[in-house]
Protein backbone atom coordinates (compact mmCIF):
# COMPACT_ATOMS: atom_id res chain seq x y z
CA UNK A 1 0.00 0.00 0.00
CA UNK A 2 1.31 3.41 -0.99
CA UNK A 3 0.46 4.98 2.36
CA UNK A 4 2.45 2.43 4.30
CA UNK A 5 5.51 2.95 2.11
CA UNK A 6 5.32 6.67 2.73
CA UNK A 7 5.30 6.17 6.46
CA UNK A 8 8.49 4.11 6.45
CA UNK A 9 10.20 6.60 4.13
CA UNK A 10 10.52 9.12 6.93
CA UNK A 11 11.76 6.59 9.49
CA UNK A 12 9.41 7.15 12.33
CA UNK A 13 10.23 5.20 15.43
CA UNK A 14 6.59 4.49 15.49
CA UNK A 15 5.77 0.85 14.96
CA UNK A 16 2.61 0.31 13.02
CA UNK A 17 0.36 -2.39 14.34
CA UNK A 18 -1.50 -3.98 11.47
CA UNK A 19 -3.13 -1.77 8.88
CA UNK A 20 -5.96 -0.54 10.96
CA UNK A 21 -6.97 2.85 9.60
CA UNK A 22 -9.64 5.22 10.73
CA UNK A 23 -11.07 8.46 9.46
CA UNK A 24 -11.36 10.76 12.44
CA UNK A 25 -13.70 13.75 12.42
CA UNK A 26 -10.94 16.02 13.72
CA UNK A 27 -8.49 15.48 10.84
CA UNK A 28 -8.62 15.54 7.06
CA UNK A 29 -6.19 12.63 6.47
CA UNK A 30 -6.75 8.99 7.44
CA UNK A 31 -5.06 7.87 10.68
CA UNK A 32 -3.34 4.59 11.33
CA UNK A 33 -3.03 2.58 14.55
CA UNK A 34 0.53 2.66 15.89
CA UNK A 35 2.62 2.18 18.99
CA UNK A 36 4.59 5.36 19.74
CA UNK A 37 7.91 5.11 21.59
CA UNK A 38 9.89 7.61 23.59
CA UNK A 39 12.07 9.89 21.48
CA UNK A 40 9.76 10.00 18.50
CA UNK A 41 10.12 13.73 18.09
CA UNK A 42 8.73 13.96 14.57
CA UNK A 43 5.31 13.57 16.02
CA UNK A 44 3.54 16.40 17.78
CA UNK A 45 1.73 16.14 21.07
CA UNK A 46 -1.72 14.59 21.06
CA UNK A 47 -4.08 16.89 19.14
CA UNK A 48 -6.83 16.01 21.59
CA UNK A 49 -5.40 16.43 25.08
CA UNK A 50 -2.08 18.16 24.16
CA UNK A 51 0.00 15.68 26.16
CA UNK A 52 3.00 13.75 24.87
CA UNK A 53 2.29 10.30 23.55
CA UNK A 54 3.98 7.07 24.46
CA UNK A 55 2.00 3.95 23.74
CA UNK A 56 -0.99 3.15 21.58
CA UNK A 57 -1.96 5.98 19.24
CA UNK A 58 -3.37 6.92 15.87
CA UNK A 59 -0.85 8.69 13.64
CA UNK A 60 -1.53 10.49 10.38
CA UNK A 61 -0.85 8.38 7.29
CA UNK A 62 0.65 11.40 5.49
CA UNK A 63 4.39 11.43 6.08
CA UNK A 64 4.57 15.22 6.12
CA UNK A 65 1.89 15.56 8.77
CA UNK A 66 2.68 15.33 12.49
CA UNK A 67 -0.92 14.82 13.60
CA UNK A 68 -1.32 12.17 16.26
CA UNK A 69 -3.95 11.16 18.80
CA UNK A 70 -3.81 8.92 21.85
CA UNK A 71 -5.76 5.76 21.28
CA UNK A 72 -8.10 6.90 24.05
CA UNK A 73 -8.43 10.43 22.66
CA UNK A 74 -9.44 9.03 19.26
CA UNK A 75 -12.43 7.34 20.80
CA UNK A 76 -14.12 10.07 22.84
CA UNK A 77 -17.90 10.47 22.69
CA UNK A 78 -18.95 13.39 20.46
CA UNK A 79 -21.53 14.50 22.99
CA UNK A 80 -21.30 14.56 26.73
CA UNK A 81 -23.70 15.50 29.49
CA UNK A 82 -21.83 16.60 32.57
CA UNK A 83 -23.21 16.78 36.09
CA UNK A 84 -21.44 20.14 36.57
CA UNK A 85 -23.08 21.64 33.46
CA UNK A 86 -26.54 20.14 33.65
CA UNK A 87 -28.38 22.63 31.41
CA UNK A 88 -26.93 21.68 28.04
CA UNK A 89 -25.15 18.78 26.36
CA UNK A 90 -21.49 19.46 25.49
CA UNK A 91 -20.16 18.82 21.98
CA UNK A 92 -16.65 17.60 21.31
CA UNK A 93 -14.92 20.10 18.97
CA UNK A 94 -11.59 19.34 17.25
CA UNK A 95 -10.27 22.83 18.08
CA UNK A 96 -11.37 25.86 20.12
CA UNK A 97 -14.17 27.76 18.35
CA UNK A 98 -12.62 31.14 19.17
CA UNK A 99 -10.65 33.47 16.91
CA UNK A 100 -7.45 33.12 18.99
CA UNK A 101 -7.61 29.29 18.79
CA UNK A 102 -7.52 29.04 22.56
CA UNK A 103 -10.10 28.28 25.21
CA UNK A 104 -10.10 28.62 28.97
CA UNK A 105 -11.25 25.46 30.68
CA UNK A 106 -14.18 26.13 33.01
CA UNK A 107 -13.11 23.28 35.27
CA UNK A 108 -9.41 23.89 35.94
CA UNK A 109 -9.04 27.48 34.69
CA UNK A 110 -6.09 26.62 32.43
CA UNK A 111 -5.98 27.39 28.71
CA UNK A 112 -6.36 24.76 26.01
CA UNK A 113 -5.64 24.48 22.30
CA UNK A 114 -6.74 20.94 21.50
CA UNK A 115 -10.13 19.27 21.71
CA UNK A 116 -12.78 20.94 23.80
CA UNK A 117 -16.13 19.81 25.16
CA UNK A 118 -18.01 22.95 24.29
CA UNK A 119 -21.40 24.49 25.07
CA UNK A 120 -22.11 27.15 22.43
CA UNK A 121 -24.95 28.68 24.46
CA UNK A 122 -22.78 29.38 27.51
CA UNK A 123 -19.34 29.60 25.84
CA UNK A 124 -18.41 26.85 28.27
CA UNK A 125 -15.33 24.70 27.57
CA UNK A 126 -13.69 21.68 29.13
CA UNK A 127 -10.39 19.93 28.46
CA UNK A 128 -11.12 16.34 27.50
CA UNK A 129 -9.33 15.17 30.63
CA UNK A 130 -11.30 17.56 32.85
CA UNK A 131 -14.53 16.28 31.30
CA UNK A 132 -13.41 12.80 32.35
CA UNK A 133 -12.65 13.64 35.99
CA UNK A 134 -14.17 11.12 38.38
CA UNK A 135 -17.34 12.23 40.17
CA UNK A 136 -15.90 11.35 43.57
CA UNK A 137 -12.43 10.82 44.98
CA UNK A 138 -11.22 9.36 48.25
CA UNK A 139 -8.37 10.51 50.45
CA UNK A 140 -6.58 8.05 52.64
CA UNK A 141 -6.73 10.49 55.59
CA UNK A 142 -10.47 11.17 55.34
CA UNK A 143 -13.39 8.84 55.78
CA UNK A 144 -15.88 10.62 53.46
CA UNK A 145 -15.88 10.82 49.68
CA UNK A 146 -15.08 14.15 48.04
CA UNK A 147 -17.61 15.09 45.38
CA UNK A 148 -16.78 17.02 42.20
CA UNK A 149 -18.64 20.33 42.10
CA UNK A 150 -18.59 23.89 40.81
CA UNK A 151 -17.31 26.45 43.29
CA UNK A 152 -20.25 28.83 43.09
CA UNK A 153 -19.53 31.21 45.95
CA UNK A 154 -15.88 32.02 45.43
CA UNK A 155 -14.22 29.85 47.98
CA UNK A 156 -14.54 29.95 51.71
CA UNK A 157 -13.53 26.30 51.51
CA UNK A 158 -9.97 25.52 52.45
CA UNK A 159 -8.21 22.84 50.42
CA UNK A 160 -7.16 20.05 52.72
CA UNK A 161 -4.50 18.99 50.21
CA UNK A 162 -2.46 22.20 50.31
CA UNK A 163 -4.04 24.58 52.88
CA UNK A 164 -4.64 27.20 50.21
CA UNK A 165 -8.24 28.34 49.96
CA UNK A 166 -8.08 30.01 46.58
CA UNK A 167 -10.30 28.30 44.05
CA UNK A 168 -11.53 30.61 41.31
CA UNK A 169 -15.24 31.24 41.53
CA UNK A 170 -16.95 29.05 38.96
CA UNK A 171 -14.01 26.65 38.83
CA UNK A 172 -14.36 23.07 39.88
CA UNK A 173 -13.19 21.44 43.07
CA UNK A 174 -13.83 18.35 45.12
CA UNK A 175 -15.73 18.85 48.37
CA UNK A 176 -16.66 16.89 51.42
CA UNK A 177 -20.03 18.43 52.10
CA UNK A 178 -20.31 16.85 55.55
CA UNK A 179 -17.12 18.48 56.79
CA UNK A 180 -17.10 21.55 54.50
CA UNK A 181 -13.66 20.59 53.24
CA UNK A 182 -12.37 21.36 49.77
CA UNK A 183 -9.77 19.78 47.54
CA UNK A 184 -8.30 21.39 44.42
CA UNK A 185 -8.49 19.27 41.28
CA UNK A 186 -4.69 19.20 41.19
CA UNK A 187 -4.48 18.30 44.88
CA UNK A 188 -6.94 15.44 44.36
CA UNK A 189 -4.58 13.92 41.79
CA UNK A 190 -1.74 13.64 44.23
CA UNK A 191 -3.55 11.97 47.10
> What is the distance between the alpha carbons of residues 186 and 55, in angstroms, rounded to a whole number?
24
179 binds Zn ion (CB under 5 A): yes
Q: Please give the residues from 11 up to 30 whose contact with Zn ion meets the rule CB under 5 A.
A: 29
b/e 111-150 (16+ beta carbons within 10 angstroms → b): ebebbbbbbeeeebbbbbbbbebeeebebeebeeebebeb
- The answer to whether residue 175 forms part of the interface with Zn ion (CB under 5 A) is no
Exactly one of 34, 43, 93, 105 binds Zn ion (CB under 5 A); that residue is 105
Q: Tell me the closest approach of the beta carbon of residue 33 to Zn ion, in angstroms.
A: 15
Site stretch for Zn ion (CB under 5 A), options 4-12, 16-24, 96-104, 170-178:
170-178
Our finding on whether 130 is near Zn ion (CB under 5 A) is yes
* Cβ proximity to Zn ion, 178 vs 189, nearer residue: 178
Task: Draw the binding track, 132-161, toward Zn ion (x: CB under 5 A; -: no contact).
Answer: ------------x--------------x-x
Least distance from Zn ion to the Cβ atom of residue 16, Å = 15
- How many whole angstroms separate alpha carbon 149 and alpha carbon 21? 39
According to the binding rule CB under 5 A, does residue 76 interact with Zn ion? no
Among 57, 59, 119, 133, the residue binding Zn ion under the rule CB under 5 A is 119
* Residue 34 within binding range of Zn ion, rule CB under 5 A: no
Kindly state whether residue 54 participates in binding Zn ion, applying the rule CB under 5 A.
no
- Other beta carbons within 10 angstroms of residue 1's beta carbon come to 9
Separation CA 96–CA 104 (nearest Å):
9
Residue 60 binds Zn ion, judged by CB under 5 A: yes
Q: How far apart (Å, rounded) are the C-alpha atoms in residues 37 and 12?
A: 10
| Residue 70 engages Zn ion in binding (rule: CB under 5 A) | yes
Which residues sit at the interface with Zn ion, rule CB under 5 A? 29, 46, 48-49, 60, 62, 65, 67, 70, 73, 88, 105, 107-108, 119, 121-122, 124, 127, 130, 144, 159, 161-162, 176, 178-179, 184, 187
Amino acid sequence: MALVTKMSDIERETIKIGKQQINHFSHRHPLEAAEVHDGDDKLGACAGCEHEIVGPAYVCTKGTCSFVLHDLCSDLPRHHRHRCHPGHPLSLLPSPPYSDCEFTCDACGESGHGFTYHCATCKFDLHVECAALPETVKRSDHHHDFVLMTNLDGGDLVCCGCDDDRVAKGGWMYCCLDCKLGLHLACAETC
